[in-house]
Structure 1
């Protein structure tokens, strides 16, 4: 699987939610695109990741 341009190894039958929480992402401060489609946060536990998937994870940063 490719994440933000970097190849990563997946565990079998890993959900997007599991992937993100195992890597300590703050789910309230990110947006995720999977294969060109934005994934609603309510769907994170339903998305089973595959080796051919491409994820883009964007963190929200405050500033002024």
Structure 2
């Protein structure tokens, strides 16, 4: 299955349609998000860390 077919299947599962003109940008964005997710998943966090209860920039 190619990426465009996977996009169409994912979108239909959410009852969405992605117009042909937007498929390439959506696929590029999904690839970027998958890259970011891989970076976050690679971080080894110990189980003993306390959760952050509020965000302070």
Q: TM-score, normalised by structure 1?
A: 0.27
Question: Relative CO higher for 1 or 2, CA cutoff 8 Å, sep ≥ 6?
Answer: 1
Answer 1 or 2: which has greater helix percent. 2
**Which is greater in Rg?**
2
User: TM-score of the superposition, structure 2-length normalised?
Assistant: 0.28
Q: Which has the higher strand share?
A: 1
